[in-house]
Amino acid sequence: MRIVSWNVNGLRACSKKGFVDILQDCGADVLCLQEVRAFPEQLPAQVREAQGWHVFFSPAQRPGYSGVGIYARQAPSRVVTQLGVEEYDIEGRYLEAHFGRTKVISIYFPKGSGKDRDNSRVPYKLGFYAAVFSRIQHLKKSGPVFVTGDYNTAHEEIDLARPKTNKKSSGFLPEERQVLTDWMAQGWVDTFRKQHPGAEGHYTWWRQFGGARENNVGWRIDYVFASPSAAKKVTDAFIWPQIMASDHCPVGVDVNL
């Protein structure tokens, strides 16, 4: 089973940059999307009803904002579109698919920076993390769980090109990074780092100006975290920076279920 996660930075825009071809050629059994930024009815038919896929979305109430999706080759046995907390659910950030005992979740974690870049949304972001953690801790009791998505946090200095100049920026604040440390203390595994310990220069998001992507001045903020039982089944974890249709690139895992 191959699970791929990708922040598409607007699925309508991404669909004009080869999304359907990437979908069909990437070898994924499950593709999780973040930042869809569209209601399903606004998407092209070949994207909304992709041939050979079961397609699910959880959009935000606000038009053109947030939103997550899951494409699955096999029909899920259950789909959950909400965390059950209204202030988070209205932003369309959570989508959970069950494949028997195995659960795959697509999550678009909030940015903490706020409109004025004053880190005003950090409390909201941390609250969302806590709500997700409560949910996934429950889910892991009944089988493997893969938590994919744009976490909007680089965990360690190795996970961004310029750590020293970003220590006061949301996405690399101590309290944000501590959340991921706490998850790992409870047995959750950063699958890419587990497979590639110490590997530098592997990023998943780049600013869209200043030659950031060309110079690989990026951040690793997209992850597949796995519960302990799920992590044992991972045979490879990867990042695909060669796919250019978004300011993020896909990440994923190969799993032997």
Domains contained in the chain, CATH given: 2-255 (3.60.10.10)
Integer CA distances (angstroms), 182 to 39, 126, 136, in order: 34, 12, 14
Contact indicator for 95, 68 with CB cutoff of 8 Å? yes
Per residue of the chain (257 residues), what is the pLDDT tens digit? 999 999 999 999 999 999 999 999 999 999 999 999 999 999 999 999 999 999 999 999 999 999 999 999 999 999 999 999 999 999 999 999 999 999 999 999 999 999 898 999 999 999 999 999 999 999 999 999 999 999 999 999 999 999 999 999 999 999 999 999 999 999 999 999 999 999 999 999 999 999 999 999 999 999 999 999 999 999 999 999 999 999 999 999 999 98
- Bridge partners (DSSP) of residue 56 are 70
Q: Tokens 């988070």 correspond to what residue? A: 88
Give the containing element (helix H, strand E) for 237: strand 234-239
Q: Collect all residues with Cβ–Cβ distance below 8 Å to 175 and sequence separation of at least 6.
A: 122, 126
Question: Is residue 247 annotated as a catalytic residue, yes or no?
Answer: no
Dist. CA 107–CA 68, nearest whole Å: 7
Dist. CA 144–CA 227, nearest whole Å: 6
Q: What's the pTM? A: 0.98
Choosing from 29, 118, 150, 182, which is the catalytic residue? Answer: 150
The strand order across the sheet containing 30-34 reads 54-58, 68-72, 30-34, 2-7, 251-255, 234-239
